[in-house]
Copies of this chain bind each other. A is one copy, B any other.
């Protein structure tokens, strides 16, 4: 009943392990995920995790750096303030986009991984400020507010599953998120 005719493809199984691990780590967290869970979902033997990624923590770091690369690449193109809501919602609704963001808040307890996480978020906030040209002295803080909203949104929709947010259509999220973003990042929010 096991893999009767399994093709021998190192790169393929490595990718399968990465996919399964990303999914499990993102949805269930690092500690709650066992290496046997991952191996089963990938359909391979447990020991291959140690072989290809050194350890469970090595596999997690591979997931994290992969997510970081995709994250950076997906937000690298110039962001305009009025297109930002729709762009963000598209990433938040996309399955791999959700996984990416959720992985950024999962922790294995490793200090280096935590630093990577902080750098990615800080970097995103800085690029957001640069793209919007906001000059307020708390611009960076406000950009991180946007990121916090996105993070909380994915959490409440995916992990917690509170309605009606969880079942909301992609289009239903664009306008409210737009209100949040303009509320936070419009050039002169307040008089004086």
Contact = CB atoms under 8 A, between A and B. Distances in A.
Q: Main secondary structure on chain A at its contact with chain B?
A: helix
A105 B160 CA distance: 7
Interface size range of chain A in the complex = 35 or more
Given A29-B31, A149-B152, A107 B159 contact: yes
A118 B180 contact: no
A163 interface: yes
Interface of A: 29-32, 105, 107, 109, 114, 117-118, 121-122, 125, 138, 140-142, 144-145, 147-153, 155-156, 159-165, 168, 172, 175-177, 179-180, 182-184, 189-190
Contacts of A184: 176, 179-180, 183
13 contacts: A29-B31, A31-B31, A31-B32, A114-B160, A122-B162, A122-B163, A145-B180, A147-B156, A148-B156, A148-B165, A149-B152, A152-B153, A179-B184
Contacts of A168: 141
Contact of A172 (B29, B117, B138): B138
Contacts of A142: 176, 179
Contacts of A107: 159
Nearest to A183: B183
Contact of A176 (B29, B117, B141): B141
A121 B172 contact: no
Contacts of A164: 140-141, 144
